[in-house]
């Protein structure tokens, strides 16, 4: 039996949890309401999920506050919290294959990516942050003999985590792992389109030993549950990944209520820059194709503006086209598939609108089109535009779909200027064999992550976040992520000097 066939059989019987997880138990929404979640690859109903609202958020926040105040998690021996999170990581690893399958069904992502993200990266994130717990210390301040002073970090309290649909369980792990490691209690809101893997976390966390009330997971609509989290006076911080529009709402909710800090990881319009001294290799072409088409381009750090020096242009375009023609679009459960479905029909149509706008504004289509096939799933083929100019809508706005836009430049300086000509600042890739230019671009680009001679977002150990409208000062990942969930306290002890 082929792997694809076996996956389809396993998918028939995969366990689906549709209830919220509040105070250590799976519960339906208090209103009894539900919302539908579809399989993006078939358009068929997968499940009816509990549609939580403000009453459920109040319930979860009361539980989270009680758990935080009783100290069983927030003030326990660090070794104990570490052991529990390591057990959680081990359980996630054990269930990795099943969760990866569920993720592929619920999000339309390929099973290959889901296996990597859900079965491998997610447990690794919990393990990595678990291991920080007993290795991060406060500081002692240089003072005169009249005082002894320390700076200590304390968990901030109850953290609201609002995550998107493009990497459902991975984005949840990016926020949950550091938040739990610091000792916070959390309220997690997954995206309505892709809640199913997050809803399996509660049971596994309880089995690992996370005390009731520490982890709460509330599915529901953004403007209902997300807004209730954003406005709740007893939630101490919010960490969000998603659109700039909702990021701005969350800043407003905080301003109008308890002025909680809001960590924002928003979108991008990231450049993939090929300089005069770049060597065009298979690895570079693979990186370029991944940068634009990985996850169907539904990636905040997707590099869709391919800015290429005139001397490299022809070869780069020819080899990229050759490679993209080989990408397989289709059934996410088939391990041979490179690109699955778009998350929803609405999102596919939104991306198709950008494709039409590219043509209307004069870009030339080298591959792909906005035409839809008659499949019931929400598929789009990869599209490559040539002759993209900086004023075009497709060059300025985040498309979040499988689109590459080629832009030819006459010099490396022109490449730098064009790359920085955007309101976003999340990521950039630069290719060159000239080490001076590599460092110059790495320093000059106003973005949170620069990858040189590769396309990479870094690792769990490196902070990830955006300059400009791509985010706030907060960072996910690395030791820096801990700061989103901690307060800094100064302790100043007066000493008798005997004078």
Q: How far apart (Å, rounded) are the C-alpha atoms in residues 476 and 482?
A: 8
Residue from 87, 175, 189, 305 touching ligand NDP (CB under 6 A): that is 189
Nearer to ligand NDP, 221 or 327 (CB): 221
Pick 24 or 178: Cβ nearer ligand NDP: 178
Active site residues per annotation = 265
**Measuring CA to CA, which residue among 342, 266, 260 is closest to residue 297?**
342
Residue of the chain from 126, 174, 249, 272 that contacts ligand NDP (CB under 6 A)? 249
* Nearest distance in Å: CB 251, ligand NDP: 11
318-325 contacts at long range (C-beta below 8 A, 24 or more positions apart): 319/280, 319/285, 320/285, 320/288, 320/289, 320/384, 320/404, 321/366, 321/367, 321/384, 323/285, 323/286, 323/289, 324/289, 324/293, 324/367, 324/382, 324/384, 324/404, 325/367
Whole-angstrom Cα distance, residue 53 to residue 93?
32
Rank residues 189 and 260 by Cβ distance to ligand NDP and give the closer one: 189
Q: Is the dihedral of CA 141, 145, 146, 148 positive or negative?
A: positive
Q: Footprint of ligand NDP on residues 308-337 (CB under 6 A)?
A: none
Which of 266, 273, 384, 447: binder of ligand NDP (CB under 6 A)? 266
Site for ligand NDP in 134-163 (CB under 6 A): 162-163
Closest to ligand NDP by CB, 19 or 319: 19
Site membership for ligand NDP, residue 164 (CB under 6 A): yes
Shortest CA distance to 174 belongs to which of 486, 467, 483, 475? Answer: 475
What is the rounded distance in angstroms from the CA atom of residue 142 to the CA atom of residue 149? 8
Tell me which stretch binds ligand NDP (CB under 6 A): 83-91, 265-273, 281-289, 403-411.
Answer: 265-273
x-marked contacts with ligand NDP along 433-472 as a string, rule CB under 6 A: ----------------------------------------
Residue 169 is a binding residue for ligand NDP (CB under 6 A): no
Contact between 192 and ligand NDP per CB under 6 A: yes
Q: Of 42, 171, 194, 40, give the one whose Cα is nearest residue 118.
A: 171
**Looking at the chain, how many residues does it have?**
499
- Residue for token pair 């959680």: 88
Tell whether residue 297 is a contact of ligand NDP (CB under 6 A). Answer: no
Task: Specify the 3-state DSSP secondary structure of 102.
Answer: helix
Task: Tell me whether residue 35 or residue 485 sits nearer to ligand NDP (CB atom).
Answer: 35
Return the number of the residue (145 or 252) whose C-beta is nearest ligand NDP.
252
Q: In whole angstroms, what is the distance from residue 303 CA to residue 269 CA?
A: 7
For residue 158, the cross-strand partners are: 185
Do residues 192 and 221 lie in contact, with contact meaning Cβ atoms separated by under 8 Å?
yes
Task: Show the binding pattern over residues 381-420: x = contacts ligand NDP (CB under 6 A), - = does not.
Answer: -----------------x-x--------------------
- Contact flags string 200-239 toward ligand NDP, x per CB under 6 A: ---------------------xxx--xx--x---------
Q: Dihedral angle at the C-alpha atoms of 100, 104, 109, 115, nearest 10 degrees?
A: 20
Q: How far is CA 290 from CA 65, 148, 279, 396, 470, in A?
A: 43, 53, 18, 20, 21
* Smaller CB separation from ligand NDP, 121 or 334: 121
Among 280, 243, 175, 212, smallest CA distance to 65 is for 212
| Minimum gap (Å) between residue 373 Cβ and ligand NDP | 22
Tell me the number of residues near ligand NDP by CB under 6 A: 27
Judged by CB under 6 A, which of 267, 271, 377, 478 binds ligand NDP? 267
CB of 165 to ligand NDP, least distance (A): 6
Q: Which of 29, 161, 214, 246 binds ligand NDP (CB under 6 A)?
A: 246
Per CB under 6 A, does 188 bind ligand NDP?
A: no
CB of 124 to ligand NDP, least distance (A): 20
Of these, 74, 166, 337, 422, which contacts ligand NDP (CB under 6 A)? 166
427 membership: H or E segment, kind and range = strand 427-431
d(CA 253, CA 160): 13
Among 63-71, 81-89, 243-251, 480-488, which window interacts with ligand NDP (CB under 6 A)? Answer: 243-251
396 close to 298: Cβ distance less than 8 angstroms:
no
Q: Which of 31, 243, 456, 462 binds ligand NDP (CB under 6 A)?
A: 243
If the CB atoms of residues 107 and 132 are measured against ligand NDP, the closer one turns out to be 107
What is the rounded CA–CA span in Å between residue 236 and residue 182? Answer: 14
Distances from the Cα of 42 to the Cα of 105, 112, 375, angstroms: 9, 18, 8
Closer to ligand NDP by Cβ: residue 253 or 431: 253
Least distance CB 126 / ligand NDP (angstroms): 20
- Using CB under 6 A, list all residues that contact ligand NDP: 162-166, 189, 191-193, 221-223, 226-227, 230, 241-243, 246, 249-250, 265-267, 300, 398, 400
């Amino acid at each position: 039996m082929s792997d694809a066939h076996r996956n389809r059989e396993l998918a028939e019987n995969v366990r689906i949890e549709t209830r919220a997880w509040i105070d250590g138990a799976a519960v339906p929404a208090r209103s009894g309401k539900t919302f539908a979640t579809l399989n993006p690859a078939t358009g068929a109903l997968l499940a009816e999920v509990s549609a939580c609202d403000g009453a459920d958020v109040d319930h979860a926040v009361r539980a989270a506050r009680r758990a935080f105040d009783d100290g069983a998690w927030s003030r326990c021996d660090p070794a104990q919290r570490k052991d529990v999170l390591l057990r959680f990581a081990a359980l996630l690893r054990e269930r990795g294959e099943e969760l990866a399958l569920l993720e592929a069904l619920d999000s339309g992502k390929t099973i290959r990516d889901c296996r990597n993200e859900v079965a491998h990266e997610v447990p690794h994130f919990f393990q990595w942050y678990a291991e920080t717990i007993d290795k991060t210390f406060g500081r002692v301040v240089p003072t005169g003999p009249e005082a002894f002073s320390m700076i200590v970090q304390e968990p901030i309290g109850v953290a609201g985590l609002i995550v998107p649909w493009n990497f459902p369980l991975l984005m949840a792990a990016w926020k949950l792992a550091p938040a739990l490691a610091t000792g916070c209690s959390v309220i997690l809101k997954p995206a309505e389109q892709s809640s199913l893997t997050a809803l399996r976390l509660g049971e596994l966390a309880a089995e690992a030993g996370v005390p009731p009330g520490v982890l709460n997971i509330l599915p529901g609509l953004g403007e209902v549950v997300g807004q209730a989290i954003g406005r709740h006076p007893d939630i101490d911080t919010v960490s969000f990944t998603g659109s700039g529009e909702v990021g701005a709402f969350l800043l407003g909710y905080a301003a109008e209520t308890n002025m909680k800090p809001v960590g924002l990881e928003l979108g991008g319009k990231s450049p993939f820059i090929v300089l005069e001294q770049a060597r065009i290799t298979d690895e570079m072409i693979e990186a370029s194709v991944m940068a634009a088409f990985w996850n169907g381009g539904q990636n905040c750090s997707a590099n869709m503006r391919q800015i290429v020096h005139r001397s490299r242009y022809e070869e780069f375009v020819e080899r990229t086209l050759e490679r993209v023609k080989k990408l397989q679009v289709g059934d996410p459960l088939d391990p041979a598939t490179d690109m699955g479905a778009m998350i929803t029909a609405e999102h596919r149509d939104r991306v198709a609108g950008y494709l039409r706008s590219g043509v209307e504004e004069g870009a030339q289509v080298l591959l792909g089109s906005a035409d839809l096939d008659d499949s019931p799933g929400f598929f789009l083929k990869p599209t490559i535009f040539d002759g993209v100019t900086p004023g075009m809508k497709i060059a300025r706005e985040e498309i979040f779909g499988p689109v590459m836009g080629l832009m030819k430049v006459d010099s490396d300086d022109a490449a730098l200027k064009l790359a920085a000509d955007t309101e976003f600042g999340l990521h950039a890739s630069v290719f060159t064999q000239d080490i001076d230019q590599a460092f110059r671009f790495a320093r000059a680009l106003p973005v949170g992550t620069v990858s040189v001679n590769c396309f990479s977002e870094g690792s769990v150990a490196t902070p990830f976040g955006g300059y400009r409208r791509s985010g706030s000062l907060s960072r996910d990942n690395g030791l820096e992520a801990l700061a989103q969930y901690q307060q800094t306290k100064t302790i100043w002890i007066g000493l008798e000097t005997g004078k």
